[in-house]
Amino acid sequence: MRPPLFMLLTLILCLQASRLHAYTVTNLQASYANGQIFLTWTNPPVNNLQYIVYRSSTPFSSSADLTADKRLGFVRDSSAKNYHWSILAKANVYYRITDGGPTLAPSQGLYVTTCINNNSYYYAVTVLELTTNVEDRTIVAGQNCLTSPVAGTKTHPKPVFQQTVTTKNGEVKHHYVFFVDNQATDQFPALCNVGSYGFNFWYVKRGNASSYPLFLQFEGSSDGSADKKLSLDSSWTNCYIIGLFDWLPTPNDNGGIGISNYNFGWHENFNIYSNANPIPTTGVVRTYAQQLYREILEWAETHLPIDNKKVYARGSSSNGFGALLMANIYSEKIAAVYAIVEPNSISSGTPVYKQMWGEVSTKLKTDVVAFDTGDTLTYPDLKDQQKMVHRNEQRSMPPIYDIHGKNDVTVPWNSGRIRWLDSLEVNRIGGVRFWDQRDHTGNGKNFWESETEPNYYRFATNIGYPAFSNCSIDHNPGDGTPANGDPYGAINGYLDWKDSTDKACKFWVKVFIKDFYVGGVLHSQQYTTCTADITLRRCSNFKPVAGMTLKWSNTDANGVKIQKGTISNYDGKLITIPNVIINKSGNLIKVKIQNCPYRLGEHDEEPDEEEVTQSVVSYVPISHGYKAYILSAQNEHALVQVLDLSGRIVQVQSLALQEGMNEVEVSAPHGLHIFRLIAPSFSDSRKLFFH
């Protein structure tokens, strides 16, 4: 029996409706470059779509092949468009996927994935209609899936050069994009959880040098590219400057797209294209932004003539927080920090940031390991830089310079600034901290920036410096109430140093009181003497080990030794000399290892009377024996023997000692043994108990 006509019509209409919102990409193509596969295609001519990418070692022949284990990630509408740069330029800007090559067309889509091995893969792209949440899983060979596999090589990806922009003062910005995705290898981390995305950065070269210092300028979401300004300190000469952005394509409260993640990162399940994510209660808050900055820095060190020991971080407001955070996560890479009106903690108080980081009370884990304990840090710990400088007290921390305003309502003076100052003091973090009457934008400021910004080039990650604390002539910041305390002033603002020397046996530095200026005018309060604690930081050669005895002295400008002391049984931690007298005329502070060998050329003065010319040996127990620290006066060969109490040799080895500190591990059966070290210029013999 034939079906009624109206049933046939209904069936036809239903079939048409089912295809009404079904879309398929065409012209899918793939290319390989620098450890990444670049997929491009032609989009359907509609919006509100999501493009899902699949990868397989075998060809895609039907929708059944689109299994969950083959799904890589997704991108949204106009993925070939550089949305962030388009906003900055106030014009549509499209990505380039080869250095300086042609821009992609507005009709194209783009997905870039990192190669996880050296194999060849097939790729397919499907379309999900966001209104209905329906994915068209149709496979059309040669259109939305590859008919031939594309080969790739696992290697470290590189950013792609986009264009140059000339600023109003004639400087040239080189604009790059780092394409990242959710695929991690042992050479490159996953830097975007949902799939492929391209992050912008730029660099400027100034002057001529064989090796350049590098400034990391945390830019936030805008660097004034629309009018081609370069709002950077003109005193930064013979250097490279990199602009780091903080921008995600997340819908904002103004009806547009683009929010900050405070240079931090986001939860591994946060959809960067949505502000309607669930608030996470499990999982990991990943520092995608900070890891991206590290990758950009390492690329610069590899591909530009950068002095990687002179890398400086600078930012204002939330970007100052980004500079602080980078200094606390990657402390050994940053030589100095300058932050302006920055918060020292961030909050997940608004809905989108709760989605991004979770409730503070949930204490979600991050992907950063604590320096002091080796445990994984929680989000509440990592977001609070006051806690972080405490955890990193014994780490190779850069000096931190910053300034805050007592009239700042965005980062209020009464919301933790005093605790921040106290934390920097207690944990002996070097640098100078200023405050004045400015608001968040700088209106009402008393200090010029040239008076608060550090002398960057004196700092390097391999140059030791004195960190001052508890200075007797510091200004009074008050109790946290804006009207309380000095209206403007500084912690460590009167103190300075020069000519630090860092040797295996001794560290010494000249310290002095300097003139203090406010707004270009000499402050009414000037001093000729004070006291302060001095902590030695970032010593690269002077590295005494626990158990050694240290001697220190303070010599005034007339050559008179006015203070001296002994640190017996040194504990191996930061070396702090308390209550050091510092004069305007200058003081020479020396710290040395007792009985350390004096070597010709180590310093330009006669050795102290207590210095001798024999090597020093110190022993530290380890799990399987002892580690001997041998401070040798010269290059020479030594014989290491372990004997039992009857004099029989249990272990023997030869050792090539280098001038300076040497380390050697020794092990022996359980019990008491004799450890003997014999060299042409000295010998040492100890009884050691082996567990």
Q: How confident is the model at residue 616 (pLDDT cuts 50, 70, 90)?
A: low
Listed in order, the ranges of the chain carrying CATH 2.60.40.1930 are: 616-690
Q: Which residues contact 411 (CB under 8 A, 6 or more apart)?
A: 317, 341, 342, 343, 404, 417, 440
What distances in angstroms separate CA 356 from CA 72, 92, 180, 247, one per listed residue? 21, 28, 19, 13
Average confidence (pLDDT) over 97-117: 97
From the options 3.60.70, 3.30.9, 3.40.50, 2.60.40, give the CATH code of 157-338: 3.40.50
Residue 1: pLDDT over 80: no
499: three-class secondary structure by DSSP: strand
pLDDT in tens, 433-466: 999 999 999 999 999 999 999 999 999 999 999 9
Model confidence pTM above 0.75: yes
Residue 7: pLDDT over 70: no
Cα angle at 641 between 637 and 644, to 5 degrees?
170
3 state SS for 353-373: HHHHHCCHHHCCEEEEECCCC
- Taking the C-alpha atoms of residue 361 and residue 377, their distance in angstroms, rounded to an integer, is 14
Residue 150: pLDDT over 70: yes
- Can you list the pairs that 623-627 forms with residues at least 24 positions away whose Cβ atoms lie under 8 Å? 624/665, 624/667, 625/665, 625/666, 625/667, 625/668, 625/690, 626/665, 626/666, 626/675, 626/688, 626/690, 627/663, 627/664, 627/665, 627/666
Q: What are 64's two structure tokens?
A: 């059944």
pLDDT for 17 equals 42
Q: How confident is the model at residue 190 (pLDDT cuts 50, 70, 90)?
A: very high
Q: What are 24's two structure tokens?
A: 């398929």
Residue 611: pLDDT over 60: no
pLDDT for 53 equals 98
Q: Which residues contact 76 (CB under 8 A, 6 or more apart)?
A: 49, 50, 51, 249, 273
Q: Which residues contact 69 (CB under 8 A, 6 or more apart)?
A: none
pLDDT for 298 equals 97
Q: How confident is the model at residue 597 (pLDDT cuts 50, 70, 90)?
A: low
DSSP string across 267-286: ETT--TT-S-PPPPSSSEEE
Query: Could you tell me the CATH superfamily of domain 21-151?
Result: Immunoglobulins (2.60.40.10)
Average pLDDT, whole number, for the chain? 90
pLDDT in tens, 570-591: 999 999 999 999 999 999 999 9
Q: Which residues contact 396 (CB under 8 A, 6 or more apart)?
A: 331, 332, 461, 537, 538
pLDDT for 12 equals 41
Q: How confident is the model at residue 615 (pLDDT cuts 50, 70, 90)?
A: low
Q: How far is CA 365 from the centre of its chain?
A: 18
Amino acid in position 14: C
- Percentage of the chain beyond pLDDT 90 is 76
Cβ pair 320, 342 in contact under 8 A: yes
- Taking the C-alpha atoms of residue 228 and residue 213, their distance in angstroms, rounded to an integer, is 24
The residue to which tokens 């959809």 are assigned: 271
Burial of 455 (0-12, 13-18, 19+ CB in 10 A): exposed
Q: What are 235's two structure tokens?
A: 């005193």
Burial of 211 (0-12, 13-18, 19+ CB in 10 A): exposed
- Taking the C-alpha atoms of residue 581 and residue 534, their distance in angstroms, rounded to an integer, is 10
Listed in order, the ranges of the chain carrying CATH 3.40.50 are: 157-338
From the options 3.40.30.10, 2.60.40.1930, 2.160.10.10, 1.10.3130.10, give the CATH code of 616-690: 2.60.40.1930
Listed in order, the ranges of the chain carrying CATH 2.60.40.10 are: 21-151
Cβ pair 587, 581 in contact under 8 A: yes
Q: Which residues contact 327 (CB under 8 A, 6 or more apart)?
A: 313, 334, 337, 397, 398, 400
DSSP label at 425?
H
